[in-house]
A and B are shown apart, each in its own frame.
Chain A
Amino acid sequence: MDYTLNLFLIIITAIFVNNIVLAQFLGICPFLGVSKKTDTASGMGMAVTAVLVVATLVTYIIQKYVLDAFDLGYLQTIVFILVIASLVQMIEIILKHSMPALYQALGVFLPLITTNCCILGVTILVIQKDYDLLQGLVYSTATALGFWLAMVIFAGMREQLAMTDTPRAMRGTPLALITAGLLAMAFMGFSGVDTGLRIMLGL
């Protein structure tokens, strides 16, 4: 029972309290780059979710059964980035042939994901936090959902902003960053929720 409640706590923390973009600053490039429209933002969010969950599964297995088993922990950075890069290529090829419709929707975002630091970041975090495989997968899914949520809210705000008249020097990135700052402030309202839940659930 405690284990299930703990999973619930991991989900809430990853989506709201420690939001990957707004509290941990991972994945800022796509967050600023492809958030001009809600549709594309949502597509990017889904592509990240797909890649992140598969990447966590594969890197976790490699870490436990290859790197830890042969005492090669120092190779973590090199191995993980290579795994992620090849994984993205593979997912792209598989999607292209088996699910052309989904490929149409996500295809353009896939190559961008290799250099998205939230993938490498989360796979390393899962190892650092000492999660087991199920916890790791739940954590990475929840983190990706948090990314998707932040992307969609932010894109919605930017769509509204595009219609307003703003000072010339503020147009584009500066205003986007300030908007993101306000959004981050809103998400700060969730801080402490994880501790509260922990006490409430008796963990």
Chain B
Amino acid sequence: MNNNLKILTNGILKDNPTFVLLLGMCPTLGTTSSAVNGLSMGIATMFVLIMSNFIISCIKNLIPDKVRIPAYIVIIASLVTLLQMLMQAYLPAIYNTLGLFIPLIVVNCIILGRAEAFAAKNGPWASILDGVGIGLGFSGALTLLGIVREILGTGAVFHSDDFGLSGIPLQGESYGMLVFVLAPGAFLVLGYLIALFNKLILKNNK
């Protein structure tokens, strides 16, 4: 039990994909213009990650070592296609908002990285837990980035036209700094968040 908990929390803190491992930067920057978008992208990635970890850990002994990377890519690409079809059918609005970044989950290094580093060496149950942990770490980071950008950029948080959420206003709309919703804001906010994360780690190590 203790070991399971360790696998789960590992992805959220020690091996956080965004703040520590710095993987999957494209969706991290590209989809976090609002908290809801960031969270949706995180959940979509988590779905593919858990499924791919599970499937790969089940069939790892059947895949010849030399062709394992192409085999992993095919499995991941099939899962992403499945996700695309499900989202198009049930959540078309958010599918259109996230747009190109949904098919690009295929080339998200987190998923291939976990397949290679964890699922190929561990059993199905542990791999699912690892997928949940890393997925939560990724979703959490994306949501945090989205929250900061949305508050600074528009003055409200959790606003989403796709889900019909009106959002929680925190400051007057006229105080919003649009640049934080646009491209430069993504780089700036993520840069300062990672610096903050580093600062906390440096302090703990002292």
Contact = CB atoms under 8 A, between A and B. Distances in A.
A125 B73 CA distance: 21
Interface in A47-96: 74-78, 81-82, 85
A116 B74 CA distance: 16
Contacts of B29: 25, 28
Contacts of A75: 81
Contacts of B103: 76-77, 120, 124
Contacts of B109: 29, 115
A169 B199 contact: yes
Given A124-B103, A188-B184, A175 B77 contact: no
A166 to B, nearest CB: 10
Among B30, B184, B198, find the residue whose CB has the most chain A CB atoms closer than 10 A: B184
A29 B74 CA distance: 22
B192 A178 contact: yes
Interface stretch (A2-10, A100-108, A133-141, A179-187): A179-187
Nearest to A172: B198
A44 interface: no
A117 B107 contact: yes
A173 B184 CA distance: 15
B186 A174 contact: no
Contacts of B59: none
Nearest to B112: A115
Contact of B184 (A85, A125, A168, A185): A185
Contact of B191 (A81, A120, A125, A175): A175
A178 B106 contact: no
A170 B190 CA distance: 12
Contact of B183 (A74, A81, A188): A188
A177 B100 contact: no
Contacts of B187: 177-178, 180-181, 184
B81 A177 contact: no
A173 B190 CA distance: 10
Interface in A179-200: 180-182, 184-185, 187-188
B44 to A, nearest CB: 13
B87 to A, nearest CB: 13
Given A82-B74, A181-B188, A25 B30 contact: yes
B30 A116 contact: no
A173 B202 contact: no
B37 to A, nearest CB: 13
B96 to A, nearest CB: 11
Contacts of A175: 191, 195
A155 interface: no
A110 interface: no
A78 B194 contact: no
Contacts of B78: 78
B179 A185 contact: yes
Contacts of B186: 25, 181
B82 to A, nearest CB: 10
Interface of B: 22, 25-26, 29-30, 70, 73-74, 77-78, 80-81, 84-85, 100, 103-104, 106-109, 112, 179, 182-188, 190-192, 194-196, 198-199, 202
Given A121-B104, A174-B194, 8 more contacts: A22-B183, A26-B26, A29-B109, A77-B77, A78-B77, A120-B107, A177-B188, A178-B188
